[in-house]
A and B are shown apart, each in its own frame.
Chain A
Amino acid sequence: DTGVSQDPRHKITKRGQNVTFRCDPISEHNRLYWYRQTLGQGPEFLTYFQNEAQLEKSRLLSDRFSAERPKGSFSTLEIQRTEQGDSAMYLCASSFLSGRAQEQFFGPGTRLTVL
């Protein structure tokens, strides 16, 4: 078990460009979450998947954001036409849905800077 991994760890882009981040969850985990974290704040929920199905999206997730988990394993988060306000840490977490409440494990995050 290598934990949740995210790639890239850092991304610097110019305003208006598109960016894509990848998350590889813990292998047996069927739930995958995306969060955004800005300086001095806790993680804010963006969306989550159960297997390959995207079950819930936050109102924070504008039309410029899209997430996929095509085979129920890794996931990608794409931001189109980036804006300076998109600068943040993007965190991925995974968990295993069972009869008990979920323990959620986070990846190291991708830090996005939009110039």
Chain B
Amino acid sequence: GENVEQHPSTLSVQEGDSAVIKCTYSDSASNYFPWYKQELGKGPQLIIDIRSNVGEKKDQRIAVTLNKTAKHFSLHITETQPEDSAVYFCAALHTGNQFYFGTGTSLTVIP
């Protein structure tokens, strides 16, 4: 199977600063890496994703980078806002069928 590790488990930043969350995966066969934002009492919401043939993807204040050689990928949020406060999960799609999730990062943006 696949093993996804996520760090840090909690992260506090001042409003306007950047936040970075990192994940590593174990199986080089994984080829799709989504990031989800989960607010209290809600299901995870897809915010950005990256496929294994791409090194970086950006969508406004959110970017994801992928290093296939090192088997790690990162979420970058710039100019953080209080509404960015939530739990963020990374995931890896293994052999096209099953998603493996990290344990989550609780992000707090301090106004």
- Spell out A's residues near B (CB within 8 Å): 4, 33, 40-45, 48, 55-56, 91, 93, 100-109
The residues of A that contact B43 with a CB separation of less than 8 Å are 4, 91, 93, 106-109
Inter-chain contact A56/B44, CB cutoff 8 Å: no
Q: What's the Cα separation between A88 and B75 when bound, in Å?
A: 27
**Choice from A41, A55, A103 contacting B49 with Cβ under 8 Å:** A103
- Spell out B's residues near A (CB within 8 Å): 4, 6, 31-32, 34, 36, 41-46, 49, 51, 89, 91, 93, 96-104
Inter-chain contact A43/B42, CB cutoff 8 Å: no
- Other A-B pairs, 4, CB within 8 Å; known A101-B32, A102-B93, A109-B42: A42-B91, A43-B44, A93-B43, A101-B49
The residues of B that contact A101 with a CB separation of less than 8 Å are 31-32, 49, 51, 93, 96
Inter-chain contact A106/B32, CB cutoff 8 Å: no
The residues of A that contact B96 with a CB separation of less than 8 Å are 101-102
The residues of B that contact A45 with a CB separation of less than 8 Å are 98-100
Inter-chain contact B100/A106, CB cutoff 8 Å: no
**Choice from A33, A100, A103 contacting B46 with Cβ under 8 Å:** A103
**14 A-B residue pairs with CB within 8 Å:** A33-B99, A40-B104, A42-B4, A42-B89, A48-B97, A48-B98, A101-B49, A101-B51, A104-B34, A104-B99, A106-B44, A107-B43, A108-B43, A109-B42
Q: What's the Cα separation between A115 and B55 when bound, in Å?
A: 48
Q: What's the Cα separation between A106 and B41 when bound, in Å?
A: 13
The residues of A that contact B104 with a CB separation of less than 8 Å are 40-42
**Choice from A42, A56, A100 contacting B101 with Cβ under 8 Å:** A42
